[in-house]
Structure 1
Amino acid sequence: MKLRLAFVFCAFIFSLFAGWILRARSSQHENKSSEAELVIGLSMDTLKEERWQRDRDIFVTKAESLGAKVLVQSANSDDTRQMQDVQALLSNNIDVLVIVPHNGDAMAKAVQLAHEAGVPVMAYDRMINNCALDLYICFDNVRVGELQAQYLVERLPQSRPGRLIRILGAKTDPCSFQYKEGQDNILKPYLARGALEIIHEDWAENWKPENAKKITNAALTQHGGSFDAVLASNDGTAGGAIQALMEEGLSGKILVTGQDAELVACQRLMAGTQAMTIYLPIQKLATRAAELAVQLGKRKPVITRAGTHNGAVEVPTVLLEVITVTKENLKETVIADGFHSAREVFGERE
């Protein structure tokens, strides 16, 4: 009798243990399935520029390596279309929404819609204003403007006031105002003491090179070639300015700034038609953004060291550093990081 009771007891313990193992395995499977089912919605302003194609590819690759699926939409720089993109992404039951806004004001409504659906939102590279945004990741845009302006003032003529034209970014892009803020931080003392004059400036609608060319042409019509530099806020607008200068035989004779270290801009550095660009380590930005998106999607806390006020709240902010690139340090920066290859940049001169 005792032997039979002992046998029944052991069988009971074994069944409990086996059941626990099965439940544990089932739980592990459910967790893995849950991770695999994490869906990130990525709403992008545009994919027309090389820079944004890189951001998308790096972001998607990293997110997928973390077990997430990414649904990508591109709005072709259209506010209405981007709002439709966001609504389409939310209808696909995404866990987190990442937005590269075309218009930082217009996308406040998108954040509201996402929150109503219980979805957290991260702004990528550009701030979304006047809403309860959950997270913002970007490069230090004020520093970008400071580095651009600092490069120019260090090369101004010493015998007379320097003269420059300034091509600002798109008014719909909050980053444009941050670049301008940084530029002004450096330029104001020179302007105040008469060591520098901005003879012409305007905003390049939608960052289009053709609009930057029009701005440069207008300056050339009014002032001829009597200026020392073009303070262009990115490589696209720099390209438009350089095209206008080439048509007047001034290419390479007037300093032109830029930003993004696009391949064509790096080639212009080597050719001497563009003086500098700002290298944004996009690999770091997109990779970190994907990691943060997964954290938000899993409702894990994100700790940041900075905050940016967007007109409504202080948004937790992750800032990344930027680097000035010239002909002299191309190999040590852009090429060393694998952003472009030596063959792509130097061609036959490699």
Structure 2
Amino acid sequence: MKTNRYRLIAVIFTLFLMICIASGCEQKSNNGELVNSPEGSLASSTNQLQKPKDERIKIGFSMDTLEEERWLRDRRMFINAVKELGADVKVMEANGNEALQISQAERLISEGVDVLVVVPYNAEAAAAIVNKAHSAGIKVISYDRLIKNAEVDLYISFDNEKVGELQAKMISELVPKGKYVYIGGADTDNNAHLIKKGVYKVLQPLIDKGEIKVVFDQWTTNWIPSNAFNNMEAALKANDNDIDAVIAANDATAEEAIKALAAQGLAGKIPVAGQDAELAAAQRIVEGTQTMTVYKPLQSLTLEAAKVAVRLAKGEKVQTNSKVNNGKIEVPSILLPPIAVDRANIDATIIADGFHLKEDVYRKGKNE
């Protein structure tokens, strides 16, 4: 009788377990996590979404363009910095195409990157990238250029308003009175607006006094060099070549302005400011056709960006030194200081840092 009773109990207990499992009774896994919950706690569990310890962090890097020298440097340095931190990185470059950049970012998101770093082509349109990334639980770092009207997790760049201030300060000290031409960057790039803001912060008091007159001020559509050349050509024509100073949004636009000046026999006679410290700009500074550039140590930018990307991927806190309003929120930001460079300090800055080799700046053996 006892044997039959035990068998009956065993059958009843087995049936109970089967009913419990079928109805989704809560059980505990070996590590104490809730599993088999009818509410789907397994899928929504934070611990379940964490990357396994033996799986490498993957950073997505969505770039606007590689057309200019500086962006090739950013790409190379960022990749090296991420790898040195033990993570992987995948880079996609959009060739200055707004729709393509969004499509590429969606691909990086679908591939499961842990953090998405974006150099936006269009500051406004890139908000869609942020929204899509956040929907997938991926944080977004706005790199060098600020993404507008989106809840960007972090912005890292140089102080671009300060860039414009450095340009205008040096040129206005050389030309305290006269007619100025301003060749801006792309209207779609927030940095172009910040640089211009910095320029006018310095120039406006002189404009108000009547000492300086800006006789030409135009954006360079899509940062395309030929558009900058056309702008400078139009400025010279409109003023019968009577120009005293030129401030350009970067070294590529400065180069085109200098070409237009050269066509009129004015290269080297009119001060020209640029920024980015490109090799060609450094060579022009040595030769005397470009007055100054602004050096932004990319090694510092790429290394810091790589560090914060990995920290965000790990869920760690990131220290910032500023906040920048992007039209929607005050974005936590890391802003690095730029450096004005002219003929007097070129050796002590970009050459001393190894940003460019001395023999390249001075064109291999040319006497200083």
TM-score, normalised relative to structure 1: 0.89
Q: Following the alignment from structure 1 to structure 2, what is the Cα–Cα distance between the partners of residues 207 and 266?
A: 20
- Quick one: distance in 1 between partners of 2:321 and 2:143? 17
Aligned partner letter, 1:33? D
1:146 equivalent to 2:162? Answer no
Q: Is the 8 A contact 1:209 1:238 kept in 2?
A: no
Candidates 256, 259, 262, aligned match of 2:278: 262
Partner in structure 2 of residue 207 of structure 1:
223
The equivalent position to 2:318 in structure 1, one of 287, 302, 324, is: 302
Correspondence for 1:173:
189
State how far apart, in whole Å, the 1-side matches of 2:77 and 2:240 are: 43
- Aligned partners of 2:236 and 2:243 also within 8 Å: no
Distance across 2 between alignment mates of 1:256 and 1:209: 16
Residue 324 of structure 2 aligns to a residue in which SS? strand
Shift of 1:171: 0.4
* Residues 4-33 of structure 1: per-residue CA shift (max 9 Å, x gap): xxxxxxxxxxxxxxxxxxxxxxxxxx9652
Q: Counterpart of 2:46?
A: none
Q: Of 61, 64, 68, which residue of structure 2 is paired with 1:42?
A: 61
Deviation at 1:305, TM superposition (A): 2.1
CA distance in structure 2 between the partners assigned to 1:163 and 1:341 by the alignment: 36
Larger of the two Rg values belongs to structure: 2
Q: Secondary structure, in 3 states, of the residue corresponding to 2:161?
A: helix
Work out the CA distance in 2 between the residues paired with 1:170 and 1:282: 21
Q: Which of 35, 51, 54 matches 1:33?
A: 54
Q: Does 1:346 align with 2:327?
A: no
Q: How does 1:90-169 map to 2 (within 5 A)?
A: 90-156=109-175, 161-169=177-185
Could you tell me which runs of 5 or more consecutive residues in structure 1 were left unpaired when the two chains were aligned: 1-29
Alpha-carbon distance in structure 2 between the residues aligned to 1:309 and 1:247: 42
Higher helix share: 1
Matches of 1:328 and 1:304 in 2, distance apart?
A: 33
Cα distance in 1 between the residues matched to 2:329 and 2:232? 38
**Match of 1:349, as an amino acid?**
K
Q: Following the alignment from structure 1 to structure 2, what is the Cα–Cα distance between the partners of residues 227 and 207? A: 23
The RMSD of aligned alpha carbons is: 1.1
The DSSP-based 3-state class of the residue aligned with 1:311 is coil
Q: Which runs of 5+ in 2 are unaligned?
A: 1-50
Q: CA shift at 1:143, angstroms?
A: 0.4
For 1:227-258, what per-residue CA distance to the aligned partner results, in whole angstroms no more than 9, with x for missing partners?
11111110000001001111111100011000
Task: Report the equivalent of 1:14.
Answer: none
Deviating above 2 A after TM superposition, structure 1's stretches of 4 or more consecutive aligned residues are: none
Note the alpha carbon deviations across 1:2-61, whole angstroms, 9 max, x for none: xxxxxxxxxxxxxxxxxxxxxxxxxxxx96523xx2100000000111100100111100
- Equivalent residue number for residue 232 of structure 1: 248
Q: Secondary structure at the match of 1:315?
A: strand
In the aligned structure 1, how far is the partner of 2:262 from the partner of 2:240? 13
Query: 1:190 aligns to what SS in structure 2?
Result: helix
* CA distance, structure 2, for counterparts of residue 224 and residue 258 of structure 1: 23
Number of equivalenced pairs: 316
Residue 100 of structure 2, aligned match among 81, 87, 92:
81
Distance 1:48 1:183 in 2: 25
Contact 2:180–2:245 (CA under 8 A) maintained in structure 1? yes
Give the corresponding residue for 1:197.
213
**Percentage of identical aligned residues:** 45
The one-letter amino acid of 2:295's match is Y
- CA distance in 1 between counterparts of 2:61 and 2:314 reads 16
How far off is 1:349 after superposition?
1.8
Residues 146 and 182 of structure 1 are in contact (CA less than 8 Å); yes or no, is this contact kept in structure 2? yes
